[in-house]
Structure 1
Amino acid sequence: MLDPQKPSKMDLEAEQSGGGAAALSSRERPATTLSRYQTLLFAITCAMAVANVYFAQPLLESMAASLAVAPGVIGIVVTATQAGYAVGLLFIVPLGDLLNRKRLILTQMLMSAVALCAVGLSQNWLTLLGAMVLVGLMAVVVQVVVAYAAALASPEQRGLAVGTVTSGVVLGILLARFVSGAVADLAGWRGVYFVSAALMVGMALVLHRTMPASATPPAKGSYWQLLRSVFQLYLTERTLRVRGTFALLIFAAFSVLWTSMVLPLSAPPLSLSHTQIGLFGLAGVAGALAAAKAGQLADRGLGNRTTGVALALLTLSWLPTAYVESSLLAMVIGVVLLDFAVQAVHVTNQSLIFAARPDAQSRLVGAYMSFYSVGSGLGAIAATYTYAHYGWASVCLLGAAISGVALLYWSYLNLTSR
């Protein structure tokens, strides 16, 4: 456990290169290392599961017409899904430290399929909202899988494993809108959820045959004691607080871009179609994949330097983004840089917090992702308000300011650690 009273712990590189590995006793080391094939399956699982949260965004108009819901109200569908996800982070993800992780993952995936079918079969507004809450609630299987991958990996490969699996999460987020729009054009909005349900069942069968048997979870005691320990982590684990602050800021910046970019792209003089706008997600994929190796740098004790470089790129990414109306290429460069930087910091964050407490990985990821939820929500609200009142240039200034604050915070940590 980290000692929050010792300033020397501020040096996150030392924290990663020495303390994390030392904290993993021989009793806690995984009996089975994580193969590349298993890591790939985990990444695909995460991409499929997290995509369920974002499928609805390009389908809202079709949903409203199908269920006779006012266009100004249908956006609650997205809110309901995110609310379910937030609840799951706090109340389901920590179960990975108490229950058999393999069974927990498979159960969540099958229940996700049921929830997705409920969405596709919904014939009224309230049924749809309830089903979307369940979709979000079960989608937190993503974080259980990430924690399980970290637990199965050896200390030397943990950063790489977390980076690869987290890349699947980012790919799922970025590609979900494009895929749902394409499937909806062929089979309607309900078809999107039926197809996803079938894929979740199929992947559950694959994982049932290939996923290593889960070791006995390290946590003991009741479920309520487990939940209390999640909140205690915020007080006792300094790495969680520091890395959680980074997560809040980088995902606020991420949300500022991806929430508001559709507005200038769809408005004159650009007037791009939804399909064309969705293609910008492919540019984001390139940046996310490029940052997948950030976990390896953390394994080598370079997590702190990786964070600093990535935050500098994040701040600079807003400069080309500001020229969207005069150059789409500049916008693409900005998107690639931003997604690269966010992914690099995110992977490094998780590698460091997992190394800090190998016995509490599920609880740590649930606590950490709560920072992500807060940052994403605040960024979305701030972006839409800023664009409506001050325009795109001010949105870019907002994103650069948030990114700059993260960079200044990193600089402050390094100065005080010395």
Structure 2
Amino acid sequence: MHHRVADKMSTHPISPRFFFILAIMAGATAANLYYNQPLLVLMGKTFGVPDARMGLVTTFTQAGYAIGLLAFVPLADYLERRRLVMGLLLLVSVALLAVGLSQSLAWLDISSFFVGLFTIVPQVLVPLAADLADNTNRGRVVGTVMSGLLIGILVARTFSGLIAGVWGWRTVYFIASVMMLIVLAYVFWQFPQHRSSHPAENFTSLMRSLLELVAHEPELRRVSLTGGLIFAAFSAVWTTLTFRLSGVPYHYPASTIGLFGLVGVAGALIAPVAGRLADRRDPRFAVIGALILAVVVYVLLGVASAILPLLILGIIGVDLATNSAQISNQARVYGIRPEARGRSNTVYMVCYFIGASLGSALGSLLWTELGWVGVMGLCVVFIGLAGAIHYWSYRMQPSDTNPSLR
């Protein structure tokens, strides 16, 4: 018999081990979105297309993820989450297999889109963690699960680069497909059931409730736009970093490029720290620090990317700034409307990955036209816009307290 996690009204505390397992699952599934980034040059050689066109593979993946968030994640507020997670894991396993079997660029684009569409399991798990945590440690719990997610993202690049360097890029996706089936088996045998207290509604009602949430929560709109712009800059960097490292002066192979994913792990480790800060005070202060750091590191990367130690330092800074802002923003989002955390998370993450798609597409375009410096200039513009919206948010609610403590 499956052990049932008590719902939020239960007096039984949730084991820290459960949240640790959620973190592992979030990382394993989120990795699917990022396997392609170190492999773009290798994929381009397979299909005989230039770098800028291969950057669109990342765009298709992230666009699929944004649509998947809109289509599936709102159901987490209404459906039994174990079944939802199992169905998504099966579908993404098939999509990953399709990527590995791609025989044309169009096939690769379409299957990459479906990988993104069904890799939304982490965005079911994160609001679940927030729902089960109590008010005094919600930021820390979200930070723990997000740490697993973010480390999974970063390790994905290293894993795919190393595997592709030995057995080719297709093998990466075959292995990933099997990994999703292993996670599915674990969910089937061990994952606790968690039924929402909300009555079931049809899909039209769900979509209408999303629009109403956006219309009635201006702070949700502001936080979502800020997060989307910050992640647009992040995505532009990581999409084009492969091209930068494969060219002058580095000429690195995919296996070496993938190792740069480990560089970003240091940034992911800040997630619980940012979560604890969000528990103690207005999380917007952490976002301000992240925005300042982001401007500094994008300028550094623009002028000193040919110096390896400074390039590594800059990548650490990019991940540190992005992850700090992400955790602080998400802790805030989960407190805006506690009874609708799945839907609030949907709004935020749809904007987040629309930003990612935009960053990948524009970054690839500017790489062709203006090179690495042009891409870093784009990143500074994105951060400037995010800063303006964040300042507006603070002006609109200057005495705001941490919503997660409401």
| Alignment TM class, shorter chain as reference | 0.7 to 0.9
**Shift in alpha-carbon separation, 1:340–1:108, aligned structure 2, 3 A:** same
**Shift in alpha-carbon separation, 1:80–1:413, aligned structure 2, 3 A:** closer
Match of 1:71 among 49, 70, 78: 49
Distance 1:285 1:241 in 2: 29
Aligned 8 A contact 1:219 1:359 in 2: no
| Structure 2 match to 1:401 | 381
After the TM superposition, which residues 265-414 of structure 1 pair with which residues of structure 2 at under 5 Å, given as runs? 265-414=245-394
**Shift in alpha-carbon separation, 1:291–1:39, aligned structure 2, 3 A:** same
Distance 2:388 2:56 in 1: 36
Paired positions, count: 390
Aligned 8 A contact 2:55 2:360 in 1: no
Aligned 8 A contact 1:28 1:359 in 2: no
Per the TM alignment, residue 229 of structure 1 is displaced from its structure 2 partner at its CA by 0.8
Distance 2:190 2:245 in 1: 44
* Secondary structure of residue in 2 paired with 1:292: helix
**Shift in alpha-carbon separation, 1:30–1:329, aligned structure 2, 3 A:** farther
Which amino acid in 1 is paired with 2:75? L
Aligned 8 A contact 1:39 1:164 in 2: yes
- Does 2:260 match 1:262? no
| Structure 2 match to 1:148 | 128
After the TM superposition, which residues 16-415 of structure 1 pair with which residues of structure 2 at under 5 Å, given as runs? 29=9, 32-60=12-40, 69-72=47-50, 77-121=57-101, 128-415=108-395
Aligned 8 A contact 2:245 2:257 in 1: yes
Q: Deviations over 1:242-292 (max 9, x none)?
A: 210211221122123222233333332333333333322211111121233
| Structure 2 match to 1:16 | none
Tell me the C-alpha RMSD between the 2 structures. Answer: 2.7
Which amino acid in 1 is paired with 2:205? Q
**Shift in alpha-carbon separation, 1:391–1:187, aligned structure 2, 3 A:** closer
Which amino acid in 2 is paired with 1:100? E
Per the TM alignment, residue 40 of structure 1 is displaced from its structure 2 partner at its CA by 1.8
Q: Could you tell which deviates more after superposition, 389-398 or 194-203?
A: 389-398
Aligned 8 A contact 1:269 1:325 in 2: no
Aligned 8 A contact 1:52 1:139 in 2: yes
| Structure 2 match to 1:15 | none
Distance 1:65 1:349 in 2: 39
Which amino acid in 2 is paired with 1:171? I
Distance 2:40 2:307 in 1: 29
Per the TM alignment, residue 172 of structure 1 is displaced from its structure 2 partner at its CA by 2.5
Aligned 8 A contact 2:26 2:149 in 1: yes
Distance 1:208 1:152 in 2: 20
Distance 1:133 1:395 in 2: 24
Distance 2:361 2:105 in 1: 24
Distance 1:411 1:80 in 2: 32
**TM-score scaled by length of structure 2:** 0.86
Aligned 8 A contact 1:292 1:344 in 2: no
Q: Could you tell which deviates more after superposition, 389-398 or 91-100?
A: 389-398
Structure 1 regions of 5+ residues with no counterpart?
1-26
Distance 1:64 1:379 in 2: 20
Distance 1:333 1:126 in 2: 37
Which amino acid in 1 is paired with 2:233? A
Aligned 8 A contact 1:323 1:330 in 2: no
**Shift in alpha-carbon separation, 1:216–1:291, aligned structure 2, 3 A:** closer
* Secondary structure of residue in 2 paired with 1:216: coil
**Identity of counterpart residues, as a percentage?**
36
**Shift in alpha-carbon separation, 1:357–1:346, aligned structure 2, 3 A:** same
Aligned 8 A contact 2:122 2:149 in 1: yes
Aligned 8 A contact 1:270 1:325 in 2: no
**Shift in alpha-carbon separation, 1:87–1:34, aligned structure 2, 3 A:** same
**Shift in alpha-carbon separation, 1:312–1:79, aligned structure 2, 3 A:** closer
Aligned 8 A contact 2:89 2:121 in 1: yes
Aligned 8 A contact 1:322 1:393 in 2: yes
Which amino acid in 2 is paired with 1:156? T
Distance 1:30 1:307 in 2: 33
Aligned 8 A contact 1:159 1:298 in 2: yes
* Secondary structure of residue in 2 paired with 1:375: helix
* Secondary structure of residue in 2 paired with 1:92: helix
Per the TM alignment, residue 47 of structure 1 is displaced from its structure 2 partner at its CA by 1.6
Per the TM alignment, residue 370 of structure 1 is displaced from its structure 2 partner at its CA by 1.3
Q: Deviations over 1:110-133 (max 9, x none)?
A: 332233334444556665555433
**Shift in alpha-carbon separation, 1:369–1:44, aligned structure 2, 3 A:** same
